[in-house]
Structure 1
Amino acid sequence: MAQGNADLVTVGRRIRHFRSARGLTLEQLGAAVGAAPSQLSLVENGRREPKLSLLRALAAALEVELSELLADEAPDPRSALEIELTRAQASPLYASTGLPVVRPTRGTPTEVLEALVGMHRELARRMREQIATPEQARRANTEQREWMRARDNYLPDIEQEAEERVRATGHTQGALTHREVALMAEQLGFELLYVDDLPRSTRSITDLANGRIFLPPASIPGGHGLRSMALQAIAHRVLGHEAPGDYATFLKQRLEINYFAAACLMPRAAAVAYLQGAKKRRELAVDDFRDAFGVTHESAAQRLTNLATAHLDLRVHFLRVGYDGAIYRVYENDGLPLPADVTGAVEGQFACREFGARAALSSNQHTTALAQYTDTPAGTFWCETQVGSGDDGRFSITFGVPFDNAKWFRGRETTVRRQSSCPDPRCCQNPPASLEERWKDAAWPSARAHAHILSPLPSGNFPGVDDAELYDFLERHSGAAE
């Protein structure tokens, strides 16, 4: 039974409700289903996931349908308070306070539960008020991440479209070439042109009137990125995008064009066959996947997250972390504990210093991936991290899985192991008490803002694009098409 922690709490409270209604003790119910009372106590408190066989036995002993035990709603008003309190105390917001968890018992007065739940509601409300300024982008980003997690980061319709477009170019194996990308554009009625005067706010420009896609010069370093830029521009046409009317639509379109480009550069059939073979040999590695298809390490790691759950039966996580430790891009469906604000936004939060993403940035070894195991409150995870450099400085790319799935990956033999208790601030956020006492009244730093996360949404028809520069560019180049 795949249940999240909150669902486990609800199921546990429903079991306790039906047991109490029938006047059964834990010992009596345990004897009826062949389970220890201590085991049932953990289940009722939402601290252990019951097997389906145990749930069926419990339903029979309690004389209810299995669906009754698994219903989403609380069985009674008091249980609803207990469940809400448990959820609130499990949130990153409460964990960041460093306060102890209050576990409600049968002897806890209802008015105490009402007061505690009311306090958590008010705390969450005040936090929302504090950040309800230019947070639209972060909220939209959070909603999109949750939407993708619900689909295991896999979009079969775009996968199918990409495979058909790649097949139409005559491509059969190996890396997709620049010529094949150009042919794909021609099949849609567009010509690829490389120019050195693109507006600084754009990566490419599509001239719909004259059937041209403008890209940076083909001689720029890392020319493999030009294939991706061209494919992203092509994707807008293939996927039928219209000018975005709001930021959420813009964000969704960006996700879809990135997905389409990756699915073309690493086509599903070929990529899955390669990855399944590597898994069978217990030699899965982002490095090898990257080299097999001639893409960047980041692209390979992200593409692996698309295919891992749907085709390899693996739950995974991906992080791009900046030189300062801030999370810039993230995906997880394996339960890795991540920092989040009250809206659920992870981007802009600081990754735990014990995570491989941070450890690799502080390491002197950047030529090979760093593999490590990390013990967390949610279990042990294995990951590999590669460090790179960009316009904004060094960054790390991390791909990881839960401990049990490390056996399929090269690097599983690493002896590097770290302990993380985040989001508990005592893990790596709070300074030593002696240093805080010495410096808290004598320090006045000037903070570096994460402009891409905290700034107001850019204006214009396409967020972040300077319309004046865009139209001036098209006007300058329009003569070449006449």
Structure 2
Amino acid sequence: MPSDLDLVTFGQRLRHLRRTRGMTLSDLGERVGRAPSQLSLLENGKREPKLSLLTSLSQALGVSVEELLSRQPPSRRAQLEIAVEEAQRDPVYQSLNLPHLKVGKRVPNDVLEHIVGLYDELKRRSVKPTATPEEARRANADLRRQMRERGNYFEHIEKAAQDTLDAVGYSSGALSQGQILSMVTHYGFTLRYVQDLPRSVRSVTDTRNRRLYLKRESLGMHSPRTILLQTLGHFVLGHGQPRDFADFLRQRVEANYFAAAVLIPESSAVPYLQQAKKARDLSVEDLRDVFSVSYEMAAHRFTNLANRHLGLVCHFIRNDETGIIYKAYENDGLVFPTDDTGAIEGQRMCRYWSGRQVFASPDRFSIYYQYTDKPNGTHFCVAHVDPSREKNFAITLGVPYKDSRWFRGRETTNRTQSDCPTGECCVRPPAELAARWEGQVWPSARAHSHVLSALPSGTFPGVDETDVYTFLERHAEE
């Protein structure tokens, strides 16, 4: 039996096929050798059919097993009945303490439409407004702690990625566009490229018609194929609608991990990295080039595999030119600047760290190597500016000094000293400058209004659901 069989939809299809052929439960029962009560349990979604019974039912009804198991409701009426049944199973609905409604043949379609509409509005109003900035930062800090505890390695996602790769016959090297499209087909979706995708989304998935909608453009560091695999990852990993911001954040991280694990497969990347370590020539840029991904993805993927397969601890940072940290991870003891909630994101890193020094290097778009002496030890770091249409970001991968011997660029003479975040090496200006200018300047700060406001509400933070639903209506009949 398929592991993802929807018993309610199956039951609706069985009832629909039986009735359209003018059969009673007794008629069908005689043909397949089962009691009417047993078939009734199947039609009501309360029992899973065995393979032998499926074969008998398909023969008796004159359809293939595949059609009998289709996940599409057989009619609008059946779709409404399924929606009402699923609504009544929802804890939000059950909290109303209403008696269970059994939908019989005499209940008109417009009544079911009303019930489903009321439930959808009840569900929408019950969605907790997504986190305040403080709650969001705490959720992010907690997720980062979980990542650190497991060395940023997620075995179940690695397995899901490998199963997906096996399904399309992947063997080695960079993944082809044809193999990516085969993955979409393997999971029962079709891909549509459109120009009118809502601005608030990276992709839209029509789960009713099993369609993935994307736009042929990169968003920041994300290429169309990365966005496609991230979207597919949500379904491969069995994600449901996020319960809260922490769940939304976890799902996003897992989907991103899945995309990276598919584009830089563990089975191919690990032997390559192990050989590079043996040659004392580890480099993020080579990993990028071999698998045709962005520098950021290659660096982040390195953190997934380094501890488990190379015996290395490391850190990763993504920051802008002013030093504001957008993304960070460490399991090598590096002390990041944090706020009271323990959040790193939004904090400004030391001006002497490589992620800021790279912007001042003679060629900011070349690989930059640096040793940084810090209060808890010296780190060897490799930084690179990934150019973007919106803003340039520096990507840093760093390791403790003792592990620099495995990396290309270890002979660099670039070296700085930082007392951050516990000292004041760059928090306060140099005494000479302060003496000359303190009290003589009135800077007008750039407003960061997002720091003061709550994050957007809704099941999927920041997504304009009206735009998405309007978009789907526009494409539904294609």
Relative to the length of structure 1, the TM-score reads: 0.69
Q: CA deviation at 1:389?
A: 2.2
CA distance in 1, matches of 2:317, 2:249: 18
Residue identity in the other structure for 1:420? S
Q: Could you tell me which residue of structure 2 aligns to residue 21 of structure 1?
A: none
Q: CA deviation at 1:323?
A: 1.6
CA contact (8 A) 2:151 2:307 kept: yes
Q: Could you tell me which residue of structure 2 aligns to residue 390 of structure 1?
A: 388
CA distance in 1, matches of 2:335, 2:168: 43
SS of the residue aligned with 2:332?
A: coil
Q: CA deviation at 1:449?
A: 4.3
SS of the residue aligned with 2:477?
A: helix
CA distance in 1, matches of 2:403, 2:262: 27
Q: Could you tell me which residue of structure 1 aligns to residue 469 of structure 2?
A: 471
CA distance in 2, matches of 1:449, 1:370: 31
CA contact (8 A) 1:361 1:387 kept: yes
CA contact (8 A) 1:347 1:453 kept: no
Structure 2 unaligned blocks of 5 or more: 1-130
SS of the residue aligned with 1:135?
A: helix
Q: Could you tell me which residue of structure 2 aligns to residue 95 of structure 1?
A: none
Q: Could you tell me which residue of structure 2 aligns to residue 457 of structure 1?
A: 455
CA contact (8 A) 1:348 1:450 kept: no
Q: CA deviation at 1:394?
A: 1.7
CA distance in 2, matches of 1:343, 1:288: 37
CA contact (8 A) 2:317 2:329 kept: yes
Deviations 1:180-206 (A, max 9, x none): 111111111101111111111110110
CA distance in 1, matches of 2:162, 2:318: 27
Structure 1 stretch displaced more, 222-231 or 184-193: 222-231
CA contact (8 A) 2:386 2:392 kept: yes
State the structure with more CA Rg: 2
CA distance in 1, matches of 2:211, 2:162: 23
Q: Could you tell me which residue of structure 2 aligns to residue 447 of structure 1?
A: 445
Q: Which of 280, 283, 289 is the aligned partner of 2:281?
A: 283
Q: CA deviation at 1:459?
A: 1.5
Matched, 1:374 2:372: yes
Superposed CA RMSD: 1.9
Deviations 1:8-34 (A, max 9, x none): xxxxxxxxxxxxxxxxxxxxxxxxxxx
Counterparts in 2 of 1:440 and 1:418: CA distance versus 1, 3 Å: same
CA contact (8 A) 1:153 1:305 kept: yes
CA contact (8 A) 1:138 1:453 kept: no
Q: How does 1:40-189 map onto structure 2 within 5 Å? A: 134-189=133-188
Q: CA deviation at 1:379?
A: 0.4
Matched, 1:349 2:343: no
CA contact (8 A) 2:260 2:301 kept: yes
Structure 1 unaligned blocks of 5 or more: 1-131
CA contact (8 A) 1:224 1:295 kept: no
CA contact (8 A) 1:317 1:333 kept: yes
Counterparts in 2 of 1:383 and 1:450: CA distance versus 1, 3 Å: farther
CA contact (8 A) 1:337 1:376 kept: no
Deviations 1:164-221 (A, max 9, x none): 1011101111111121111111111101111111111110110001110001126x69
Matched, 1:297 2:295: yes
CA contact (8 A) 1:361 1:395 kept: no
CA contact (8 A) 1:383 1:400 kept: yes
Counterparts in 2 of 1:223 and 1:311: CA distance versus 1, 3 Å: closer
Q: Could you tell me which residue of structure 1 aligns to residue 429 of structure 2?
A: 431
Q: CA deviation at 1:226?
A: 1.5
SS of the residue aligned with 1:393?
A: coil
Counterparts in 2 of 1:357 and 1:174: CA distance versus 1, 3 Å: same
Deviations 1:294-352 (A, max 9, x none): 10000000000000001100000000011211011100000112111111111111111
Counterparts in 2 of 1:374 and 1:246: CA distance versus 1, 3 Å: same
CA contact (8 A) 1:317 1:401 kept: yes
Relative to the length of structure 2, the TM-score reads: 0.70
Q: Could you tell me which residue of structure 2 aligns to residue 231 of structure 1?
A: 229
CA distance in 1, matches of 2:166, 2:364: 37
Matched, 1:338 2:336: yes
Residue identity in the other structure for 2:237? L
Residue identity in the other structure for 1:352? C
CA distance in 2, matches of 1:315, 1:246: 31
Deviations 1:429-452 (A, max 9, x none): 101334435544343323224566
CA contact (8 A) 1:381 1:402 kept: yes
CA distance in 2, matches of 1:438, 1:178: 60
Q: Could you tell me which residue of structure 2 aligns to residue 17 of structure 1?
A: none
Residue identity in the other structure for 1:169? V
Q: CA deviation at 1:395?
A: 1.4
Q: Could you tell me which residue of structure 2 aligns to residue 31 of structure 1?
A: none
CA distance in 1, matches of 2:193, 2:186: 19
